[in-house]
Structure 1
């Protein structure tokens, strides 16, 4: 059986979703948003969605960005994951 290649993304890619799973708290939310502003010049804050877990310990923050390239996405991922309260970046 042959291995499938990952789908190719054409850049710029509008409405590219980035979801960050992290501990709940204003400090981590502010950190995540500041990182996104740093890497996404035209970040639309109106499209940010935040969902809390049922017990309120965790939250997911979803952004829709215009991805400009692999370098941008890798830099976002590395910087977001560097925070101790961020568990996953999808």
Structure 2
């Protein structure tokens, strides 16, 4: 087991700009969900559409949309999180 004092807290920090930051958005499956997520992300970041991945939960209630963006700051990531949650269909942003 790793001793907590041996863990470097700096090792997990994001270095900005981050050219390949992964965003996973989980929300209610429905018409326009994916388009809403993409629209919000494009307002706040450069989005690599070639990385788009979409997956539904086993019962089809939720959909996960995953994309890679260029993350420029912690504030940008907080703004993205807030904007996605404000849509009313997003349950979680990872």
What is the TM-score normalised by the length of structure 1? 0.86
* Residue-pair matches, total: 88
Runs of 5+ consecutive residues of structure 1 not aligned to the other structure: none
**Match status 1:14 vs 2:19:** yes
Greater C-alpha radius of gyration: 2
Shift of 1:5: 4.3
Matching residue within 15, 26, 32 for 2:31: 26
Matching residue within 47, 50, 55 for 2:51: 47
Runs of 5+ consecutive residues of structure 2 not aligned to the other structure: none
| CA deviation profile, 1:10-59 (whole Å, cap 9, x unmatched) | 1011211110000112322211110011011x312121100011121111
RMSD across aligned C-alpha pairs, in angstroms?
A: 1.7
SS of residue paired to 1:54: coil
Please give the alpha-carbon distance, in whole angstroms, between the structure 1 residues aligned to 2:25 and 2:19. 18
Please give the alpha-carbon distance, in whole angstroms, between the structure 2 residues aligned to 1:66 and 1:84. 25
Q: Counting strand residues as a fraction of each chain, which structure ranks higher?
A: 2
